[in-house]
Chain A
Amino acid sequence: MGLTGWRLVSLIAAALLGGYALANSVGIFLAAFLPASKSDAVLAGNLVSFAVYVAAIIWVGAVRKPLRAWCVLLIPAFILTGLCLAKGVDVLASVGL
């Protein structure tokens, strides 16, 4: 359906990697901001992150535009991660930075 070669690879990568980035950043954000004990908030973030991941993959499948998919997934992921950094959550350490 109109997508071949690198554009298709890019779309699949957006779904799997971009979706993963968004799912994790939503999970980390919820863990930081939910009004619950730390362990409960982290667990809640974990439970919800999968719904975000699934939704992201399906949405990417629906738009079928690689560049748009990457932008729409990564921009909120960066914003949420930024909010967590501002709150003092050591997000970067978790990915080894």
Chain B
Amino acid sequence: MSQSPLSNKKASASPDGGFRQAMTWLHTWVGLTLGWVLFLIFVTGTAGYFDTEIDRWMQPELPFVEAPLSALETANVVRARLEQEAPQAERWYINLPAGRNQLYPSVFWQGASEEAGASSARGRLTLDSKTGETLTPRDTGGGQTLYQMHWRLHYLGRGYSDWIIGLATLFMMVGLVTGIIIHKKIFVDFFTFRPGKGQRSWLDAHNFFSVFALPFHLMITYSGLLFMGFSLMPLIVASHYGDEGRRQFFAEVFDPPGIVDAANTPAPLVPFTSVIHQAEQRWGQGRVQVVDVHHPQDASARVVLYESIDQTVSTSGERLVFDGVTGDLLHTEPTDASMVKHVRDVFLGLHEGLFAGTALRWLYFLSGVLGTGMVATGLILWTTKRRKTAERKPGRTHRGLVLVEKLNIGTIAGLPAGMATYFWANRLLPVNMAGRGEWEIHILFLTWLAMLLYAALRPRLKAWQELLAATGVLFATLPVLNALTTERHLLHSLKSGDWVFAGFDITVFVIGVGFVFAAYRVRSSRLSDLQKPHKPKSTAVKVSKLQDTTGGAV
């Protein structure tokens, strides 16, 4: 085979060697093409495993949550509020506080009548469980915005973002399978680390990050594709339900049985007492997660109760459908009413990890960190291989290489810096500022942009060192910022047993130290590079470094 610009190796003679070579080629290019999008997906998704914890840190005026009231009391408080706020609605959807995933009751309604006094036709509120008043913490993007960036980016409509994220996920999946194929000695390599050997060490690190959490990577990637399933493969639904039939398909798959159209005859809504009592007898105290009322105050009202998913991996538990006027139990829909939907729900449930308790949640987080490391080391590996070759050919400009190097620095060190300034903005922007939550996220992206520009202008290793150090300092000093701007500093959190606040402070500090350490390692290797005796090669190094300083193609 002849050489092409895409590969600088010659295929070996054996057919197996050719196959492996082809897989290596595919692995390299699917990994690189959308690698930075994948890095963003992994970083923000990993943070997303602690989304509600981050929410709490970013809204320090909300109280340290006490033991929740009974489901019935809370449901009644919320209901009273909804009767004022959203009369004659099509639907009230009440999320009851239930453990880590939902701390305060929240409501969503649609199709309410503004003539009958509704504040708006549709709306969403987070309420105080005792008084039913709207909670008004500072406007913030919170952990939710980080988590949402993970699957729908930002600033882009779903029509674009679904395809970008979907394509990146598809490439990730191809990257994983080809990675397994080209990896000859998974078991041996797993225990192999050769530090300080340049490209070989990066390969070892890439293998470690990939293999150690391989089941997680495979699960998270395939289920990630399934999340996008209906956007990426719309033709399958359309060919069987028609172009306009999506709603009917979703209703058949996702709606509980026994929901009927409104009768448009007013009728009082059944009190929640017996309904919730029946559900709690079946599921246990405090395990009603959702009270979903279809056509409240109508003769064909239905009250659907959802079981908490804290005891199942699947994203859906059991559902009970009651007549909303008489209170009779009409249907009991088991978790796995449809086997196929159950398979999907388990995949999605594994991905979201909402069922995970503290220990498992940390395992999810660490797996996410390993995934992030896998993407980062893969991107760096692409450059270390080519940097070596480039330094042997000093005459040429290496535009592609320099571009990838710059993007790597600006993203791998710069995006985390953006996340740190996102937290800084949360504490420093004026509390009553208009559009505050949105500005937090603007600051994240502005920081990232600034980091990319900085990386473009500085020599490669200096840029790495300085940006990693900056990111480290921004993270490690967050506990200090928190202590200066709130009453809830680390000592206070530790004393009062507020593990969410303490956990955030300690985690960002450790992350910060990690980045500073990485900066230190870059510095040592940069200095030892400079002290090397002059070999003929070093002129090449100088030339390519000169290109770096001038910004190369960027």
The interface of chain A, by Cβ under 8 A from chain B, is 1-4, 8, 23-24, 27-28, 31-32, 36-47, 49-51, 53-54, 57-58, 61-62, 64, 84, 89-91, 93-96
Contact = CB atoms under 8 A, between A and B. Distances in A.
A53 B249 CA distance: 23
Q: Is the interface of B mostly helix, strand, loop or mixed?
A: helix
16 contacts: A1-B21, A4-B4, A28-B240, A38-B240, A38-B252, A43-B344, A46-B229, A50-B229, A50-B233, A58-B23, A58-B178, A61-B23, A62-B22, A62-B23, A89-B240, A94-B239
B401 interface: no
Given A47-B229, A61-B22, A31 B239 contact: yes
A3 B22 CA distance: 11
B230 interface: yes
Given A38-B252, A46-B237, A93-B239, 10 more contacts: A1-B6, A1-B22, A24-B236, A28-B235, A37-B338, A43-B340, A46-B226, A46-B229, A58-B181, A94-B243
A50 B21 CA distance: 25
Interface string B346-369: 010000000000000000000000
A26 to B, nearest CB: 9
The size class of the interface chain B forms with chain A is 35 or more
Contact of A43 (B22, B30, B253): B253
Contacts, number: 125
Q: Is the interface of A mostly helix, strand, loop or mixed?
A: helix
Interface string B240-256: 11110000010011000
B235 A58 contact: no
Contacts of B253: 39, 43
A57 B169 CA distance: 13
A2 B2 contact: yes
Nearest to A40: B340
Contacts of A8: 6
A64 B22 contact: yes
Interface of B: 1-2, 4-7, 11, 19, 21-23, 25-26, 30, 170, 173-174, 177-178, 181, 222, 225-226, 229-230, 232-243, 249, 252-253, 338-341, 343-344, 347
B511 to A, nearest CB: 33
A39 B26 contact: no
Contact of A39 (B2, B181, B243, B252): B252
Contact of A61 (B178, B236, B241, B344): B178
B340 A54 contact: no
Contacts of A96: 243
Nearest to B343: A47
A3 to B, nearest CB: 6
Given A24-B233, A89-B239, A93-B242, A61 B252 contact: no
Contact of B4 (A2, A31, A57, A58): A2
Contacts of B241: 42
Contact of A49 (B178, B236, B338): B236
A62 B6 CA distance: 15
A61 B31 CA distance: 14
A46 B26 CA distance: 25
